[in-house]
Amino acid sequence: MTLAWEQVVIDSEDVISQGHWWADALGWQIIDEADDGIEIQNPDGSHPTILVLAVPEAKTVKNRLHLDFVPDDQAAEVDRLISMGATRVDIGQGEQSWVVLADPEGNEFCVLSAR
């Protein structure tokens, strides 16, 4: 028996805004859009996809799971994401080589240093 990783789900109060934010941030395409969810996918068609799913409540605590991204230029990518509405977050990480950001609804993710 095997498992295939299909998607990552991000809970959201404002599915339309969040789904489009993540699509723009990643340069991914929207492959399904409804009032209760937006699914985005890498333009190369690979998986996993990201499903931004409607929930009635706001985020209240630190994520138990988060996404890590590796850019070509960490500083430029952090600046770009902040200009799009992301914010820097201090979750007690101290001085590290990665930068913790939050999307417009407060979901944390990391921008790692280039490899």
- Among the four given CATH numbers 3.40.640.10, 3.30.420.40, 3.30.720.120, 3.40.50.450, the one describing domain 1-57: 3.30.720.120
Total-model pTM: 0.90
Q: Which two tokens stand for residue 36?
A: 């209760």
Give the C-alpha separation, 76 to 64, whole Å: 27
Q: How far is CA 66 from the centre of its chain?
A: 8
Looking at residue 71, its pLDDT comes to 95
Each residue of 69-96: pLDDT tens digit?
Answer: 999 999 999 999 999 999 999 877 778 7
Of 14, 6, 60, residue with least CA distance to 37: 14
Of the ranges 21-25, 35-39, 88-92, which one carries the lowest mean pLDDT score? Answer: 88-92
Q: For 64-115, which CATH class?
A: alpha beta
Quickly tell me which residue has 């941030």 as its tokens. Answer: 25
Cβ atoms of 67 and 26 within 8 Å: the answer is: no
